[in-house]
Structure 1
């Protein structure tokens, strides 16, 4: 039996098939949420959503739209499985970063359904590698219930500006404080370290602020340890949307362009730290 015929027969038995010309377009996005070993994959007709959680206080979601793939098919309304994200990334980057200019790694992902492994076929410059990764029963994912109608404040800004601020703040601090307000200082990030407090202000009319919609003053504090993993996504992104809802929950959404100019999104949800007392103010 010809290899193409064999693969065609196998494809008909899979509930998920996804193919693309550059595996890096997937691996880069997944690296941005790789702060825990396991991830839950949700596949629907819209594309893939890969979710990572920690301590039920922070959740990261990588959205890889169906249009990123040159072939994509899901045979069920939603396919869900848990996978070792560390192993998946190792497989996706199995050819390393030594590729010659213009050479990309083709990727085919297949999943046969509940209990089946995730099958990867990677091809670069005529060299073919197949990987089989065990899948697990998915855990129940925390619903942060972050509804747009409950959003109090929202700011969209260029990522470059937030990267600079993060580099100047004392990220050894336990707490990162967000102040968002319709009045000055409008948007302020603060850290509190042994050497004192550090602030970074963003005027609403700054060239770096693309959209400013703050309806009331909110001051919320979040554990730096929970937000640090999102810096990976910040480094890849061009724009960032920062939202807080009426409970003080934080949503940071990063817009990331891949090497082909296509857009993917990574979103972090973080619960406010309720243990911080007023001496930090």
Structure 2
């Protein structure tokens, strides 16, 4: 539904204007990266990128393409600001997370630039709420230098396969060990918890695996505490791409279909906990 709120006075001064007929198409994606209070927002004509980081070891990015919005206007080459993500989500869900049948909350989001708040107009059933959230100086974003030319192994699988794995693995383990190989075991997830070692193997011709591109055997360990936030994205996704580069850095890219059937992506980068030598396998 079109937001009935008239354009804000001085609207031409806004450097960012975005409207959505269904605010949940934004809030659900942001929930998938909400594991810290603050996020950095980066807008270009291509869309909105929201980044959350933790301990210089983990980075999550939500990509909401411009085409997801009914209107998406960026007046500068790029617009960047830091915001309290917890507060933003509270505002976006101010009408609740589930609407009555046939109703949904619409959003108009405006930002006038450095030093100004992010202004949200939310409307549901002719009730309009205006929220203004203070923005902050953006901090420098970590560059994990994860580029496709350095990717050694890549597997794309249906998310249900990974969801089942996470429910079966021993989460008392401090680390999740991931083995990707052109030979057996192909794709193995291992934990080392209170109940001992546990392994889950996926053959490369498994019905759950849609693409298998492994060039060499790699075994790396990642802190489960760092990976747990990505389970939120996994729960929303239909497919996940798992990639490792030549340093053992991990990329988990989740393909998420919103309520209108449009595709968004959430990506998590995680640095390895330790290298595993041949003798430890």
Q: Which residue of 1 aligns with 2:126?
A: 126
Partners of 2:279 and 2:195 lie apart in 1 by: 15
Cα 1:153/1:118, change in 2 over 3 Å: same
Q: Which residue of 2 aligns with 1:64?
A: 64
Q: What is the number of equivalent residue pairs in this alignment?
A: 279
TM-score, with structure 1 as normaliser: 0.96
SS in 1 for 2:10: helix
Q: Is the 8 Å Cα contact of residues 5 and 128 (structure 2) preserved in structure 1? A: no
Q: Which residue of 2 aligns with 1:203?
A: 203
Q: Is the 8 Å Cα contact of residues 191 and 197 (structure 1) preserved in structure 2? A: yes
SS in 2 for 1:259: coil
Q: Which residue of 2 aligns with 1:172?
A: 172
Q: Which residue of 2 aligns with 1:16?
A: 16
Does residue 113 (structure 1) correspond to residue 103 (structure 2)? The answer is no
SS in 2 for 1:212: strand
Matches within 5 A, 1:1-281: 7=7, 9-274=9-274, 281=281
Cα offset for 1:8? 5.6
Cα offset for 1:98? 4.6
SS in 2 for 1:160: helix
Question: Please, what is the CA RMSD of the aligned residues?
Answer: 1.8
SS in 1 for 2:140: coil
Partners of 2:159 and 2:186 lie apart in 1 by: 18
Cα offset for 1:102? 2.0
Unmatched 5+ stretches in structure 1: none
Unmatched 5+ stretches in structure 2: none
Cα offset for 1:279? 9.3
SS in 1 for 2:7: helix
TM-score, with structure 2 as normaliser: 0.96
Partners of 1:200 and 1:114 lie apart in 2 by: 49
- Deviations, residues 28-68 of structure 1 (Å, cap 9, x unaligned): 00000000000000000000000000000000000000000
Q: Is the 8 Å Cα contact of residues 192 and 280 (structure 1) preserved in structure 2? A: no
Partners of 1:6 and 1:207 lie apart in 2 by: 51
